[in-house]
Copies of this chain bind each other. A is one copy, B any other.
């Protein structure tokens, strides 16, 4: 694997999940594979799980880690070609990406959607800027449109917790006071399309995800119907894609409850707003898999770093 930009960069999801579970069983088995190799984590947005899990995974592989908060510790980057840079932006992505490539063997990038300009978000200026101009492999730590490390952690969690060959998995929209990006939902859908499962997406009308991503997926607007006989319920808010970045509904009826969940396992990428996205009774029950999902973030990125290191 050269870059890890999308869940589809894994040749075979099932094999990747198996390998990640083997790493989880013995996280230090490859403790020298990363010797004398450095991964540089560049954060254009805040982070808790991604920040700590990626450092942990890299150190498990014997790598050196450098961490930089680009916004507060660096300066604004220019992404347009041919601009006269006489305004607020001090450095062009062409230089920044090439320069970081001198100081690391792998670069990992977090850069969220701005949710104002759909076209700009979909152009993935930061992630693609690094992919285009860096001379080293690039890992996506959540971009405008995708969050494939989360999706791989989710796949590991599903594999570890499924009790039948072909479980029913429901992605259920939830209300939220802030406009949130689509990245987690998008990558979860892309990952589910690679799974042998009955997969249903449910959300209020107007909250359709990018149809190119959900193409072929079952979408049901009646949440109750969607949840029937579910084995796993993945709850997540996102803002409108058609009315880009807008909050169309904060309808509390869409909050996940113990009653609605039935016997299903509950999943969420975290951070989660209690009693807005999901009620306490769910998170505090043993049906919740959220902490194990977070734990699997380490093995998800450790698998990715390992595969990249093997090809360096």
Q: A56-B38, A78-B274, A82-B275 given as contacts; is B43 within 8 A of A73 (CB)?
A: yes
Cα–Cα distance between A96 and B294 once the two chains are bound (Å) = 10
Q: Are B273 and A85 in contact (CB under 8 A)?
A: yes
Q: State the Cβ distance, A91 to closest chain B Cβ, in Å.
A: 3
Q: How many copies altogether?
A: 3
Contact residue among B47, B94, B177 (Cβ-Cβ distance under 8 Å from A87): B177
Q: Are A64 and B59 in contact (CB under 8 A)?
A: yes
Residues of B within 8 A of A8 (CB): none
Interface residues contributed by chain A, number (CB under 8 Å): 62
Having A36-B60, A86-B276, A94-B274, one finds 4 other A-B pairs with CB under 8 Å, namely: A55-B103, A91-B271, A95-B271, A99-B294
Q: A87-B177, A272-B95, A273-B85 given as contacts; is B38 within 8 A of A51 (CB)?
A: no
Residues of B within 8 A of A104 (CB): 52, 56
Q: State the Cβ distance, A48 to closest chain B Cβ, in Å.
A: 5
Residues of B within 8 A of A48 (CB): 68, 74-75, 91, 96, 99-100
Can you show 30 pairs from A to B with CB atoms below 8 A apart? A28-B36, A38-B59, A46-B73, A47-B73, A47-B74, A48-B96, A48-B99, A49-B99, A49-B103, A51-B68, A52-B68, A52-B100, A55-B66, A55-B103, A72-B72, A78-B274, A82-B275, A83-B274, A83-B275, A84-B275, A85-B276, A92-B274, A95-B271, A95-B272, A95-B290, A96-B271, A99-B270, A99-B294, A102-B295, A102-B297
- Most chain B Cβ neighbours within 10 Å, of A48, A64, A83: A48
Q: Are A95 and B43 in contact (CB under 8 A)?
A: no
Q: Does A40 make an interface contact (CB < 8 A)?
A: yes
Q: Does A195 make an interface contact (CB < 8 A)?
A: no
Residues of B within 8 A of A294 (CB): 98-99, 102
Residues of B within 8 A of A271 (CB): 75, 90-91, 95-96
